[in-house]
Amino acid sequence: MSEMLSEDERRIRDSVRRLAEERVRSRAMEIDASGEYPQDMFELLKGFGLFALPFPPEFGGSGSLFLASLAIEELCRLCYNTAYLLILQWTPFAALFAGGSDEQKKRLLPGLAAGDLRAAIALTEPQSGSDLAGIRTRARRVEGGYRLAGGKVWCTGASVADFILVAARVEGAGINLFIVEKGAEGFAVGRAEKKMGARGVPSSALHLDDVFVGENERVGAEEGGFKIVMEGLNRTRPLIAARAVGLAQGAMELAIDFVKNRRAFGASVGDFQGVRWMIADMGIEIEAARSLLYRTARAVDEGLAGTALAPLAAMAKCLASDVAMRVATQALQLFGASGISSEMPINRYFRDAKVLQIVEGTNEIQRNIIARSLLGPPGRA
Ligand SMILES: Cc1cc2nc3c(=O)[nH]c(=O)nc-3n(C[C@H](O)[C@H](O)[C@H](O)COP(=O)(O)OP(=O)(O)OC[C@H]3O[C@@H](n4cnc5c(N)ncnc54)[C@H](O)[C@@H]3O)c2cc1C
User: 267-319, pLDDT tens digit by residue?
Assistant: 999 999 999 999 999 999 999 999 999 999 999 999 999 999 999 999 999 99
Q: Which of 71, 74, 27 minimizes the C-alpha distance to 52?
A: 71
Atom 25, ligand 1: which residue's CA is nearest? 129
pLDDT over threshold 90, residue 233:
no
Do the Cβ atoms of 182 and 162 come closer than 8 Å?
Answer: yes
Ligand 1 probe mutation, 88, 124, 204, most atoms within 8 A of CB: 124
Classify residue 313: in a domain, yes or no: yes
CB atoms inside a 10 Å sphere around CB 332: 22
Q: Any idea what the CATH number is for the domain that residue 70 is in?
A: 1.10.540.10
Residue 380 in domain: no
Is there a single domain that holds both residue 348 and residue 241? Answer: yes
Statement to judge: residues 197 and 237 lie in one domain:
no
Split at pLDDT 50, 70, 90, the class of 2 is very low
Q: What is the pLDDT of residues 118-163, one digit of tens each?
A: 999 999 999 999 999 999 999 999 999 999 999 999 999 999 999 9
Which domain-ending residue is among 114, 144, 163? 114
Same domain, 78 and 205: no
- What confidence category does residue 3 fall into, taking pLDDT thresholds of 50, 70 and 90? low
Q: What's the whole-number mean pLDDT along residues 327-336?
A: 98
> Can you tell me which atom of ligand 1 is nearest the CA of 122?
11
CA distances 75 to 13, 357, 374, Å, are 10, 19, 34
Closest ligand 1 atom to residue 130 Cα is 29
Q: Cβ(352)–Cβ(29) under 8 Å?
A: no
In a domain? residue 381: no
Atom of ligand 1 nearest to the CA of 360: 17
The reported pLDDT for the residue numbered 256 is 98
Residues 104 and 181 in one domain: no
Mean pLDDT along residues 319-337: 98
**DSSP codes, 138-161:** EEEEETTEEEEEEEEEEEETGGG-
Domain match, 277 and 371 both: yes
Same domain assignment for residues 245 and 206: no
The reply to whether 77 and 149 lie within a common domain is no
Does 23 lie in the same domain as 164?
no
Tell me which of 73, 74, 285, 360 is the catalytic residue. 360
Name all residues whose Cβ lies below 6 A of ligand 1. Answer: 120-124, 129-131, 154-156, 195, 198, 203, 355, 358-359, 362, 364-365, 368
Residue nearest to atom 30 of ligand 1 (CA): 129
Residues 277 and 204 both lie in one domain: no
Residue at which a domain ends, from 114, 130, 150: 114
* Residue 43 structural domain: 2-114
- Which distant-in-sequence residues (6+ apart) come within 8 Å of 212 by Cβ? 142, 145, 146, 147, 184, 185, 186
Please work out, in degrees rounded to the nearest 5, the angle formed at the alpha carbon of residue 296 by the alpha carbons of 278 and 293: 20
164: CATH: 2.40.110.10
Minimal-distance CA residue to ligand 1 atom 37 = 130
The CATH number that applies at residue 285 is 1.20.140.10
Residue 43 falls in the annotated catalytic set:
no
* Residues 230 and 371 grouped into a single domain: yes
Q: What is the per-residue pLDDT for 335?
A: 98
Q: How far is residue 236's CA from residue 87's CA, in Å, rounded to a whole number?
A: 9
Cα of 111 from ligand 1 centre, angstroms: 29
- What is d(CA 115, CA 52) in angstroms, rounded to the nearest whole number? 8
How does the average pLDDT of the chain come out, rounded? 96
Quick one: CA torsion of 202, 208, 212, 216, rounded to 10 degrees?
Answer: 50
Least Cα distance to 175 among 127, 147, 139 occurs for 139
Does 1 have pLDDT greater than 50? no
pLDDT, residue 231, reads 84
Give, using CA atoms, the residue closest to atom 29 of ligand 1.
130
pLDDT tens-digit readout, 185-213: 999 999 999 999 999 999 999 999 999 99
Classify residue 33: in a domain, yes or no: yes
What is the distance in A from the centroid of ligand 1 to the CA of 359?
A: 6
Q: Looking at ligand 1, which atom is closest to the CA of residue 363?
A: 47
- Do 123 and 109 lie in a common domain? no
Number of domains in the chain: 3
Length of the chain: 381
Yes or no: say if 209 and 186 are a contact pair by the CB < 8 Å rule. yes
Q: At residue 268, what is the residue type?
A: S
What is the pLDDT, as a whole number, of residue 381?
A: 60
> What integer is the mean pLDDT of 23-28?
98
